[in-house]
């Protein structure tokens, strides 16, 4: 795929930015492109487990579908419209060899994209047309790189070895999609898996090889339910959910104290009450826990649950906790494989940053971990590029030459796998 086609595709996906489990237009467009290249494509419920996290309510799907126009296609999109987004594509060569996998994520963020004229997507007319949804983390580029690699494989399949599995994963933001697809077995047959992310503090034009320090995380919505009453006339008749939630938030932030490793906890949102003279009957908080190991993350998660339970008991409240997302910690079990890939990519002209630290959570970790558990090998890259604003910012954008860079990195890696 030449540079102009990559840029054209990327800008098309930017305009139809969609958040996790709502990537309906995005999924359909990806499937159309893959089918045109001759891939066998699985999608819908077939590629997901029954335990999807953080799924929007049915009404949100219905309202969203009223605001978009879907193309007429020759395949069934009913399950995609229900939120079973993403797809997995397959192509087999005639030459024996390994099963090579690639994973890219496809969702956007719930942000309003900048309308400033110095913001290139706005200036050139390819900013998001879906108000409130923005590709502010580079996933539009990830999709495009994935399709560029797909086209290369399709055009060169007679000269390649083995079989190819290309995973276009939904709902990475909020770390929801990978666990569903991993539980459904989409990576269980893969011998070598590639993943990557644009930016993430990597220097322009540098290839980060063997990304490490993926943090384990769990995301929760917590709700407290009390009893409403007049705040002056009869406060003793109420049960104050706001005070329970506030006490809970303060106590939760005392938890990340670990002598062995690292843990994090953050209450990012806390909403409560209906009026200044009413004892608040309801409160809701959105929180997350993280750890440098899955064990540390699990430990702080269990402590968090006890604090929530204790806060509810203290203020005589009902409560509920709903897990909205999760990701595993990951550091490869095969550092020698990372070293080999880095050496080979250096020989092929790439400037290398060996083992860059992610220092955050990314749910590709579930897939990387599963492949290694099954005896396979993995490599995760960072594609260094110049950013116009930080990730998750309304002005986020990147130099579009990173699209060629990413495609080339994956193609060269496929060649390395073909020669092992």
Which tens digits make up the pLDDT trace of 154-209?
A: 999 999 999 999 999 999 999 999 999 999 999 999 999 999 999 999 999 999 99
pLDDT at 319 over 90: yes
| Look-up of token digits 């396979």 | 376
Mean pLDDT of the chain: 97
- CA 174, distance to chain mean position in Å, is 7
Alpha helices, DSSP H, located in 37-115:
58-66, 78-81
E-state strands within 122-176: 161-169
pLDDT at 264: 95
Name residue 221's beta-bridge partners.
286, 322
Measured over the CA atoms of residue 170, residue 175, residue 178 and residue 184, the dihedral's sign is negative
Q: What is the mean pLDDT of residues 229-258?
A: 96
Q: Are residues 284 and 272 in contact, defined by beta-carbon separation less than 8 angstroms?
A: yes
Q: In the chain, what are the helix, strand and coil shares in percent, each to the nearest 5? A: 35, 25, 40
DSSP letter for 291, please.
E
Give, for 31, the enclosing helix (H) or strand (E): helix 24-36
Phi, psi dihedral angles at 74 (to 5 degrees): -95, 25
Q: What is the mean pLDDT of residues 384-395?
A: 97
pLDDT at 94 over 90: yes
E-state strands within 10-137: 40-43, 87-92, 95-105
pLDDT at 260 over 90: no
Residue 26 zone, left/alpha/beta (φ > 0; ψ -120 to 50; rest): alpha
Name residue 318's beta-bridge partners.
225
Q: What is the mean pLDDT of residues 226-232?
A: 97
Number of residues written out for the chain = 420
- CA 395, distance to chain mean position in Å, is 19
Predicted confidence band of residue 1 (pLDDT cuts 50, 70, 90): confident
pLDDT at 258: 85
């Amino acid at each position: 795929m030449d540079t102009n086609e990559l840029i054209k595709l990327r800008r098309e996906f930017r305009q139809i930015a969609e958040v996790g489990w709502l990537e309906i237009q995005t999924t359909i467009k990806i499937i159309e492109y893959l089918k045109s290249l001759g891939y066998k494509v699985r999608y819908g419920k077939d590629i997901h487990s029954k335990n999807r996290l953080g799924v929007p309510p049915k009404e949100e799907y219905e309202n969203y579908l009223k605001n978009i126009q879907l193309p007429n296609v020759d395949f069934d999109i009913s399950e995609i419209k229900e939120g079973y987004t993403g797809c997995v594509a397959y192509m087999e060569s005639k030459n024996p060899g390994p099963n090579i996998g690639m994973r890219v994520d496809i969702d956007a963020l719930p942000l309003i994209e900048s309308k400033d004229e110095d913001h290139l997507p706005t200036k050139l007319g390819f900013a998001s047309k879906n108000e409130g949804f923005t590709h502010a983390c580079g996933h539009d580029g990830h999709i495009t790189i994935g399709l560029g690699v797909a086209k290369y494989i399709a055009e060169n399949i007679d000269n390649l070895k083995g079989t190819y599995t290309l995973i276009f994963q939904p709902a990475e933001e909020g770390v929801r999609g990978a666990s569903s697809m991993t539980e459904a077995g989409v990576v269980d047959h893969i011998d070598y898996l590639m993943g990557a992310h644009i930016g993430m503090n990597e220097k322009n034009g540098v290839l980060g090889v063997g990304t490490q320090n993926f943090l384990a995380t769990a995301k929760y919505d917590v709700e407290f339910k009390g009893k409403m009453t007049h705040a002056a006339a009869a406060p003793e008749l109420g049960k104050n959910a706001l005070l329970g939630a506030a006490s809970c938030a303060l106590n939760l932030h005392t938890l990340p104290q670990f002598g062995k490793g690292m843990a994090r906890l953050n209450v990012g949102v806390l909403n409560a009450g209906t009026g200044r003279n009413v004892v608040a009957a309801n409160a809701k908080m959105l929180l997350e826990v993280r750890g440098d190991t899955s064990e540390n993350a699990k430990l702080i998660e269990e402590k968090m649950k006890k604090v929530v339970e204790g806060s509810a008991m203290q203020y005589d409240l009902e409560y509920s906790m709903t897990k909205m997302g999760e990701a595993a910690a990951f550091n490869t079990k095969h550092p020698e494989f990372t070293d080999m890939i880095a050496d080979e990519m250096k020989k092929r002209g790439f400037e290398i940053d060996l083992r860059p630290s992610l220092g955050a959570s990314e749910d590709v970790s579930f897939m990387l971990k599963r492949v290694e558990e099954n005896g396979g090998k993995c490599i995760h890259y960072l594609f260094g590029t110049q950013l116009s604003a930080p990730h998750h910012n309304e002005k986020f954008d990147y130099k579009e030459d990173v699209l060629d860079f990413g495609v080339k990195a994956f193609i060269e890696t496929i060649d390395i796998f073909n020669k092992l």
